[in-house]
Chain A
């Protein structure tokens, strides 16, 4: 839990933050975006990225975001998570966001499926990408173009005093019937302002310091199921739907750490029907 998000830090250090919002994207030329070129080199060097990759990974997001601060994104994968071959990482890249690499998810065979649903902020018209790295080292990418504006520099939430009062409240639940050895769907909700620090406080003339959940770890019966390095790309009150495989009775546990190193945890007992 202690490791800071080195990956995100290195991306930030590239100076992409300042450049990103200046980028324009052509919906029909997803490879042309300069920020993407830099992110690509930084994360994957010259390695081939297969696309389209529908058999391995697909990405769903609205064509036009209704609320740029809460854009639902659904990543679905086509591989079974076997020890022999599975998806190890899924990178979420939003080219024209202030922080283009918004999340890096790590999956294991115990994930069952490397699917993930979440909500993100989207700053402007942009390509959104989900890139899967398989355990045998292949890269596969799904891309969508989303029209949105103002998500990341957007002001904090609709009820600022309530947001702080509920800080760190969590919900973790398993959806539907659970059978031993079968992938089960779960949802984690974290009450957190998760703000970007990009909105200037006009009273103080200072930017509010960014304050967000930076790390999420999920385990079942002590085994890692899913973890994520994330930032303020994720919407207020981070919300994830993911899968895990309960092989027997056990505790599904979620821990999160924010940028003030506050830690929050919750757990739920899971007893698969036999």
Chain B
């Protein structure tokens, strides 16, 4: 999610759509065996280095653990716990997929890893640059041996440009003074695809053209067929456009062709229905494109367009009050350059 790609997020209370959250979470698919039976025994609590309370995680496939973030805007009240975070346990080491919305949350994610396995964390993969996905990195960067950080080839440039802004927003919105040291740049950059071996299981990383952002990366765990989509897929939470609308739609066409057993969005519950899990998002983004194109053809200005369409097409979504008008603005600024 982008809460403040270009400005601060609104620090107001959640809209009426928020009560629908419980309903959305209730449709979470049945997940395979949640008991950790195969892995090494959990560490005693005193060995959890950070002393942080482990984030609750679910075993969505053998050795594949998911923490489902809240469907809220990034704020002090939720400690930045709004994005989905995951880890995959191999026979030699662990890969973490997105580190969380604050260093404290990263520490809780690390505690969740430690509660599950003593194996080292060898990779921290960031699916894209947004702060609710990456500001937990410092907790992992402090580990010995230090894991290698992996991201899209355009991630570093984007993070470099945005980091100061993210830190300021973190201080303003989370009330947490952060330092530049909390920003961790990738050691391994993915321009196309990359295979990571965790011992006995491999992750396939794929870098995508500009869509949700200009640095979206997916992680495919082939053995179990789990695909981590980052914010290329939103479920429940209104999709947020911080890249290129037409690019995103094209990427979704390619994603729909993949063989997937379980799709994990960046926000909201995972789904086994593929490619059907893309449909609501496609409907929303298609509608955004078609309505904005129609407004442009009718000679409407940006302000007129946002005012006219500000309440449309968001019925099934959470957080529409926070993000729909921004999406209209972004879509207009993109599509007005179409021939």
Contacts and interface: CB of A to CB of B under 8 A. Distances in A.
Given A62-B303, A149-B7, A155-B6, A67 B164 contact: no
B81 interface: no
B7 A161 contact: no
Contacts of B306: 62, 66, 72
A154 B159 contact: no
B274 interface: no
Contacts of B301: 72, 74, 117, 241
Contacts of B6: 67-70, 150-151, 154-155
Interface stretch (B34-42, B92-100, B229-237, B329-337): B329-337
Contact of B156 (A148, A203, A239): A203
A16 interface: no
A158 B244 contact: yes
Contacts of A154: 5-7, 165
Contacts, number: 113
Given A74-B303, A150-B169, A67 B210 contact: no
B242 to A, nearest CB: 5
A38 interface: no
Contacts of A199: 161-162, 164-165
A7 interface: no
B22 interface: no
Residue from the set A155, A200, A201 with the largest chain B CB neighbour count within 10 Å: A155
Contacts of A69: 6-7
Nearest to A236: B333
A241 B304 CA distance: 14
Interface string A134-158: 0000000000000011110111101
B168 A153 contact: yes
Contacts of A176: 299
Interface residues of B, number: 42
A82 interface: no
Interface in A103-120: 117, 119
B213 interface: yes
B337 A191 contact: yes
A158 B213 contact: yes
Contacts of B284: none
A119 B306 CA distance: 13
Nearest to B243: A158
A175 B333 contact: no
A159 B302 contact: no
B303 A60 contact: yes
Interface in A13-56: none
Given A158-B214, A204-B160, A67 B326 contact: yes
Contacts of A171: 337
A200 B168 CA distance: 11
Contact of A67 (B7, B157, B159): B7
A65 interface: yes
A148 B165 CA distance: 15
B8 A201 contact: no
Contact of A189 (B162, B303, B336): B336
A153 B168 CA distance: 10
A162 interface: yes
A65 B243 CA distance: 19
B15 to A, nearest CB: 13
Contact of B7 (A148, A189, A201, A205): A148
Interface of A: 60, 62, 64-70, 72, 74, 117, 119, 148-151, 153-156, 158-162, 171, 175-176, 189, 191, 199-205, 208, 237, 239, 241
5 contacts: A161-B154, A189-B336, A189-B337, A201-B160, A202-B160
Given A158-B210, A161-B154, 20 more contacts: A62-B306, A65-B7, A67-B7, A69-B6, A70-B329, A117-B301, A119-B302, A148-B7, A155-B161, A159-B244, A160-B154, A161-B214, A162-B210, A162-B214, A189-B337, A199-B162, A201-B161, A202-B159, A202-B180, A237-B333
